[in-house]
Amino acid sequence: MTALAALIRRDIRIALRVGGGALIGVLFFLTVVVLMPFAVGPDLALLSRLGPAILWLGALLASLLTLDRLFMADHEDGSLDLITMSRTPLELACAAKALAHWLAAGLPLIVATPVLGLLLNLDMVATGAVALTLLAGTPALTFTGMIGAALAVTLHRGGLLMAVLVLPLSIPVLIFGVAASQAVIVGPMTFGAPFSILCALSLVSLVIGPFAAAASLRHGLD
């Protein structure tokens, strides 16, 4: 347990310090959201209707782009080999690393959401709903994306290939995240149903992600 806590602390510290680059994700998120009005026009009514979708897409891309550093940096300096050889089960170590990554790169996105909501003309309730769905949904993005990160490190290929592999897997999260936000703002639907499915998706990916990532690391590293 202390080993896992130490791993989480170490990863967060590395991510937040110089060279870590966790906060670049937030900057990317901000930039994507700022770009949107240039594409669809400065119509505030339209922006507020598209708001949840824009925020979700931005968060999806931001969390995906920061992911390929998840195992790559550790692989380069050799600490990934120590982690795979240590007595801690690799599945738990992967889960701890993903949790640390979410705390360092995922949580800041959610903190930034209210500010971006202002830019997109979302009211308080809508912004709160989007932030809440992001809070419930981004762990699923991190934990499924971790599979892609593990594949990327074993194949020595990152970037586009990983994005192509991981993005289709994140479609359900996107669907239910946007649906739950829209349910609060306009929808005839209730907020509860899509939101609980979103939580369920996060929990499922919490189980599948570490096992798949550990399997690919164990079979792929040499």
Partner 1 sequence: MTLIDLANPTRFLALTARVLPWLAAATVILLAIGLYQSAYAPDDYQQGATVKIMFIHVPNAWLSMFVWGVMSIASLGTLVWRHPLADVAAKAAAPIGASFTFLALLTGSLWGRPMWGTYWEWDARLTSVLILFLMYLGLMALWRAVDDPSRAARAAAVLTLVGAINLPIIKFSVDWWNTLHQPASVMRMGGSALDKSFLIPLLVMAIAFTLLFVTLHLAAMRNEILRRRVRSLQMMQASRIAFSSDVAAGSRQENASKEVGAA
Which residues of the chain form contacts with partner 1 (CB under 8 A)? Answer: 144, 147, 150-151, 154-155, 157, 161, 164-165, 168-169, 171-172, 175-176, 179, 187, 189, 197, 201, 204, 208, 212, 215-216, 219-220
Give least dist CB 149 to partner 1, A.
Answer: 12
Per the document, the length of the chain is 222
Give least dist CB 102 to partner 1, A.
Answer: 19
Give least dist CB 35 to partner 1, A.
Answer: 24
Nearer CB in complex with partner 1: 111/155: 155
What is the per-residue DSSP string for the chain?
-HHHHHHHHHHHHHHHSTTT-STHHHHHHHHHHHHHHHHH-S-HHHHHHHHHHHHHHHHHHHHHHTTTHHHHHHHHHTHHHHHHHSSS-HHHHHHHHHHHHIIIIIHHHHHHHHHHHHHTT--HHHHHHHHHHHHHHHHHHHHHHHHHHHHHHHHT--THHHHHHHGGGGHHHHHHHHHHHHHHHT-SS-SHHHHHHHHHHHHHHHHHHHHHHHHHHHHH--
Nearer CB in complex with partner 1: 106/172: 172
Nearer CB in complex with partner 1: 116/136: 136
Nearer CB in complex with partner 1: 60/112: 60
Give least dist CB 174 to partner 1, A.
Answer: 9
Nearer CB in complex with partner 1: 29/195: 195
User: What whole-number distance in Å separates Cα of residue 136 and Cα of residue 62?
Assistant: 16
Give least dist CB 183 to partner 1, A.
Answer: 9
Q: Are 165 and 100 in contact (CB under 8 A)?
A: no
Give least dist CB 65 to partner 1, A.
Answer: 17
Nearer CB in complex with partner 1: 102/143: 143
Q: Are 190 and 76 in contact (CB under 8 A)?
A: no
Given the structure tokens 């369920």, which residue do they identify? 200
Nearer CB in complex with partner 1: 87/219: 219
Give least dist CB 72 to partner 1, A.
Answer: 15
